[in-house]
Structure 1
Amino acid sequence: MQAIDENRLFRKISTRILPVLMLAFFFSYVNRVNVGFAKLQMASDLHFSDAVYGFGAGIFFVGYFLLEVPSNIILHKVGARRWISRIMLTWGLLSCATIFVRTPMQFYVMRFLLGLAEAGFIPGAIYYMSQWYPGARRSRAWGVFYVALASSGLFGSLVSGAILHYMSDLGGLRGWQWLILCEGAPTVLLGGYIWFRMNDSIAGATWLSDDEKRHLQAVLAAENRHKLETGFGALLGSGRIWALITIYFGFTMGLYAISFWMPTLVQRMGVKDALNIGLLTAIPSACAIVAMVLMGMSSSRRNDLRWHLTIAYVTAAVGFALCVVWQRQPALGVFALCIANMGVYSIPALFWGLPTALLTGVTAAAGIALINAIANLAGFIAPYLIGYLNTVTGRTDAALIVVGACLALGAALVLLVTRERRLAAGGVDRRAA
């Protein structure tokens, strides 16, 4: 067997896998949260209160929760190509159908169905990448993958603001309808591409040589021998799994508070034009891209996961606290949103090093999905909590403080969970190594 240049091998894998998954992630997130911009017109057009909008935005995650674990188990059995393609086709079609919503109940039903359709994509992508990258290389790969998350905020803000500003009433459709349609249709096309182009396994990758396949399979097999494969019932009884769920819950509280409400927060700072709101909300997303790349590089260079993840949570908590202090001051308010975004978006690529260091096989697929599913219920709580408190009090202070507190709790739990394990950047236990 020829000597394998691992750097060249993983560049080849990244070139083939990451761009497609990143584009899919980009559209998944845009389709999930574009109602944040649509609300700027939809709420007045359809006479939706903040509470109605918040409940509709959040009920997505109830459907998401119900099918998340089953979806990832099915992915493990039938293969990533078929299942991720199915996910994208159904959620793209349902997202486009949201333009026909007219009543609160229709809005709730469409959002719930969209959650059912999208369940499994993100943990499926995380699990899929863990089948191609060993632990030492995962945090860098996930860091690149999660750039799509922040990029969706950056480009999604610019495109959404422009659509609302320039396309409103074009062809008899309101701007919010064009926004949802234009951002949903590409997902259907990408789902078809994935069906024909993605590989389910290393063995089926015709773009790798036989020597490269054997080397990669050997590296991953050696690493997986030290991980846990157990029943799903045992996962539910694991204190460590529930700690990880709580940690990730804090992240999702922060993520969806930002995602669904940032345009409204900027609007309430005194900015009224949709195009200007889009431009201003793009600034925190741009800062987040820089922060998450630098944080991932620093974590890999220092071979540290624990303190980098803790710093990300603390930064996000501070950002939300400053959003309360500066909520009526546009310049300082946007600066506070930059800090919150930088902290929040730096978290996920680091976080997934924790569960993938411990689990393998179908247990890894189920464990990742379980963490993501339960923690993503915060996606229901955060927008609904903010919407409800906005309606009752006319202010966002209390909700933003709760979100900041959840992130601070996440930081404390990271330190607690990792105190007995010296975790490197890829989630590898350096003590065991």
Structure 2
Amino acid sequence: MTSDGSTGRVASTTVAAVAVGVGVGICLYVSRSLRVSESYRARVPGDPASTIGAAAVAPELARPKPPSSAPCAGVKPRAIVAVEQLGPPIAKVHSCFSRRNGTPRQGGDLVPSARCVLTLAPGLPRDLLTGVDEYTHVWIIYVFHANTNDGDTRNGGAVKAKVRVPRLDGKTVGALATRTPHRPLPIGLSLGRVVSVDARAGTLTLAGADLVDGTPVLDIKPYVPFCDRVEDATAPAWVGKEASDRDEPLKISRVNAADGAADAVAAAYVRSVADRRRARLAREADDASASSGGKGHKAGGTRTHRGKDGEDAAKSRFLGLSEEEKKAIRKEEKDRRRAGLAPPDALYPSGEAFVEMVREVLALDMRTVRERRAPPERRKFQTYRVTLCDVEVEYSVDDETKVCTMLGGAAVKPLDRPGETKRDASRGGAVADAFRDIVAADTVD
């Protein structure tokens, strides 16, 4: 009887515990449902009470309370959502476009030789990139981190209603009818061709993307032809690769190189890569010394989290290739390492390959509207410069023949904050400040 009594008490206790657990679960579910329903009420137009209720029940889900009245006369509207509210970026960009100047107006095939490498943020699993290599193109959603109209600028950070379009010789158009960086929320969209995916290192190499060095990436989405391509889509005549209703104002008929200019630019690229490699190794040595308490451990970079799929990708890199093809790839990689032109420091395998990309960039007139339209005696410059892969390339343009001539090049010091000049930082920088940690990071956890 004692044994049966003990068993009964244990059973009763167990039943009671289960009942309590079920009750708690139901309460949590109902509470969460109420919170979510209240948060959706905040999104019902014309119901101001719903916003207040949502804020009271679930402040983290409620939208900001709308202004009680229209802006006063003379007050310029501003963006109502801060970029940092979007959350930290998922990747950073190492791009051939070292500055805003020289970056093409669109991604895709305007500068097909353009290269950039996206590196996943520390802490993210590298297996996120598994399967990306099965697509030919991807969309990149990113932040215009080098915007000059953000923060303390000439217009006080106010939202621009209209912008001057270079291809319309300065005619103004509504900002949302263009792809200008100067938007209420400075978010960009770029199309890139997938060159390679390294799941082990968490890197994605793209061609043709119009991303400035240091760009914070918010998302990567595959390009899906059946839904992303619209057969009967139309756009204004000035939006095409070349204007169809007038002479193309940005057209360059030919790109020439002065004597010795191509060799000088190629040599400058090799020097810039060597400088970048030295800076990276010194930075890694400092980081290793700091993490080891100054014991002088040898720097070897930070180990990456590979994951099962990352390991499989490493093993299957040569899958389906013949022995001769494998041998050729290994030889090319070895030659690049010997020449100091291997990733992550180099985007191009040789100075000659870099020069070809420079020619593609110079085939697009990147001068300002004022400089293009002003008579020769009133122009600010006789020659112009563009910085690519930390190489400052000098060139000139003959406006009568529309011939661009490459004059030479020199390696320059990389910017402290990639993509941002000191002038950019002094005029804006609030967007970049929100992403400074990830943009500055050069190691992968």
| TM-score category, normalised to shorter length | under 0.3
Bigger Rg, structure 1 or 2: 2
Task: Identify the structure with the greater strand proportion.
Answer: 2
Q: TM-score, normalised by structure 1?
A: 0.22
